[in-house]
Amino acid sequence: MKELFINKVKAFIEHNGLIDGSAPVLVALSGGADSVALLRVLLELGYDCRAAHCNFHLRGEESNRDERFVTQLCQRLGVTLHVKHFDVPAFMAQHGVSLEMACRTLRYEWFEHLRRELGCDCIAVAHHNDDNIETFFLNALRGTGIAGLTGMKPRNGAVVRPLLCVARSEILDWLKALDQDFVTDSTNLENDARRNRLRNIVLPALYGEFDGAKDALLTTIDNLTRCNELYIESVGVMRNIVSDHKGDSLVIDLEILNSFTSREMLLFEILKPLGFNYDQCCDMLTSAVGRHFVTATHKAAINRNNIEVFPLKQDDTKVYIVDLEQDEIAEPVALEISHISGTPFTPAMVNGKTAVAFSLDIMQCSEVLLRHWRDGDRFKPFGMNGSKLISDLFTDLKLSEKQKSDTWLLEADGEILWVLGYRAAQAFAVPKAASNYLIVRMK
């Protein structure tokens, strides 16, 4: 029994290339049966292990009991243990996340920090194939694509799962054979969480009604994993046909995209790595020209013949206060400010695009700033009656979405004075033959 379990895990690690053994392994150790079995089997296989335990202080004395248990276990096994205490409620309040997400984020951020600090090869966590079946059902119940039905992967970056090849029952049998005790998280017995209800109620009933259901589900997950690999390869080929990279933007030809039967799914697979969801991708294909879709990192703009996607810059919504008393402005764009005195102004001194002139009245403004354009922005172009939408100016200039995103506006007390690089406004125009004024140039 002992050798069978060890050899099964050993073969799984080697087949998936999970641990190379050249550096220590950081083992996530909660004190429960799964993590204790993981630590014990990795030690049996000869790996140099370090243990990491999170105390979230969410279960009162039980949390401290777990810490005492793992401390004594590691002392007995001769394993270095690292313990971290967390204030979960404070993190939840600060970041506005759920309890589960807070614990997950805190746990894995610390694990990765510790892995780098200790020079460990990987972070070993104790998920087994029962966990994989639960993940399959939870994702299916949320509504998911093929990738969500493939369960957990043996490796995800630096995180490895050596026990995905074994069942919870095998883990318990092996620990019994070792005469190894463990602690039980009492919250796992409560059925208030979706996963617990699935684990404690739904799946036992399913297995009781259908012989061989568990093995069949594991086979299905394995088949879906291979189908997903083929699907990803196929999408990769189609992505090369559909998309065209221009600088750091992505241009998707709508005519080519529309030639595919599952165009929504193809667009989703192309844009999913950039944070766009399936519903957004469906909306993109039916939206009017000019509409924008935004994620935390990217913006997609609907054009007549294509969808242009480009990164959001950190300063997309940031404003920069401009001190016109200075001779130079360094950011966000380099500007040179000339304070002219005694020389009569002539229009030939500026071009209205990269060099503009302002009367000294501008110095009386309470706030002068640089910012990116926003939907609905208007200005009064020099030499034109009335106002004009900045977006219409961009259309006249045939600017791409990336060029629009890169454009800066100079604004004084809420009025746009200059679309840098393209057009000046009438505001604060220099009177004819005036001898005191400012000239601002893009460097």
Contact, 33 vs 70, CB < 8 A? no
Amino acid at residue number 211: D
Q: What is the C-alpha separation between 265 and 4, in angstroms, rounded?
A: 44
Which residues, at least 6 apart from 192, have a Cβ–Cβ distance to it below 8 Å?
none
Task: Report the predicted TM-score, pTM, of the whole model to 2 decimal places.
Answer: 0.61
Closest CA to 398 of 273, 321, 305: 305
Nearest Cα residue to 73 out of 119, 39, 105: 39
Alpha-carbon span 61 to 334, nearest angstrom:
60
What is the enclosing helix (H) or strand (E) of 307?
strand 306-311
pLDDT at position 315? 54
- Residue 23 burial (CB count, 10 A): 15
* Closest to 77 measured CA to CA, from 43, 115, 121, 30: 43
* DSSP string covering 269-283: HHHGGGT--HHHHHH
Contacts for 246 with CB less than 8 Å, ≥ 6 apart: 402
Query: According to the model, what pLDDT value does residue 185 have?
Result: 87
C-alpha distance from residue 267 to each of 4, 20, 224, 232 (Å) = 46, 38, 21, 13
Residue 243, pLDDT score: 58
pLDDT at 316: 57
As a whole number of Å, the end-to-end CA separation of the chain is 75
Output b/e per residue, 97-133; b: 16+ Cβ within 10 A.
eeeeebbeebbbebbbebbeeeebbbbbbbbbbbbbb
**What pLDDT is recorded for position 172?**
95
- Residue 407 is given by DSSP the state -
Q: Looking at residue 240, what is its pLDDT?
A: 66
Q: What is the pLDDT along the chain (443 residues), one digit of tens a residue?
A: 678 999 999 999 999 999 988 999 999 999 999 999 999 999 999 999 999 999 999 988 999 999 999 999 999 999 999 999 999 999 888 888 788 888 999 999 999 999 999 999 999 999 999 999 999 999 898 888 888 888 899 999 999 999 999 999 999 999 999 999 999 988 877 777 788 899 999 999 999 999 999 999 999 999 998 888 888 877 777 666 665 555 667 888 888 888 888 888 888 888 888 888 888 899 999 888 878 887 877 888 888 888 988 887 655 567 788 888 888 888 788 899 989 888 888 888 889 899 999 988 888 888 888 888 877 788 888 878 888 888 888 888 888 777 888 889 999 888 899 999 999 988 888 888 788 888 999 88
Contact 424, 352 (CB under 8 A): yes
Instruction: Read off the tokens for 322.
Output: 């401009």
pLDDT at 217: 94
Q: At what angle do helices 129-142 and 213-242 cross, to 10 degrees?
A: 60
Q: Which residues of 203-232 are buried (b: 16+ CB within 10 A; e: fewer)?
A: beeeeeeeeeebeebbeebeebeeebeebe
Q: How far apart are CA 147 and CA 149, in angstroms?
A: 5
DSSP symbols for 188-225: GG--SSHHHHIIIIIHHHHHHHSTTHHHHHHHHHHHHH
What pLDDT score was predicted for residue 392? 87
Return the pLDDT at 194: 84
Rg (CA), the chain: 31
Which residue from 268, 273, 266, 264 is spatially nearest to 311, judged by alpha carbons? 273
Determine the pLDDT at residue 342.
Answer: 87
Tell me which residue has tokens 């279960």.
59
Dmax of the chain from CA atoms? 99
Which residue, chain included where needed, has tokens 């039905």? Answer: 149
